[in-house]
Amino acid sequence: MNTSRTTADDDRERARGDWNINPPWVTPTPTEDDREFWEGAGRGELRVQRCGSCGLHQHYPRALCSHCGSESVAFITASGLGTIYSFTVIRQNGVPPFRDRIPFVVATVDLDEAGARLLAAMPNCEPERAAIGMPVRAVFRPAGDGLGLIDFEPMP
Ligand SMILES: [Zn+2]
């Protein structure tokens, strides 16, 4: 039996609070533009838009390419892989459910799909471990009504 523990094991067990309890104020309310993103997350897929003109990607979803202005944008399923562009550690929040989760990392993640950047929580990452440039992957939480929320975690 392998009893050695890794940093990834510690990260996975660190999440404080119940991240699967989603009160109404943190539940997605999809619009026509972003419904595909939220429903994709409910299926365990990270859906972002790719531009048919310049080939770059974007998030959040919108009618025009944020890089070149083209109307030729369509959803693709991203790999879910990326790197931390920047991050902060939330250490104070008195509002449930966040008060039971602090401290936790919130990061902006550059996806491997060029051009797309997401803001996401990292409940499975020790705040001291987070670093700019860290490789991360998407993980999915159900949010009711077939929708999902997307977090990121360090690559094992
Ligand atoms: Zn474009």
Distance from the alpha carbon of residue 59 to the mean position of ligand 1, in angstroms: 12
The predicted model scores a pTM of 0.87
Distance from the alpha carbon of residue 58 to the mean position of ligand 1, in angstroms: 9
Distance from the alpha carbon of residue 87 to the mean position of ligand 1, in angstroms: 27
pLDDT band at 6 (very low <50, low <70, confident <90, very high): low
CB 115 within 8 A of CB 67: yes
Distance CA 124, CA 15 (A): 5
Distance from the alpha carbon of residue 143 to the mean position of ligand 1, in angstroms: 31
> Which pLDDT tens digit goes with each residue over 96-113?
888 889 999 999 999 999
Distance from the alpha carbon of residue 103 to the mean position of ligand 1, in angstroms: 38
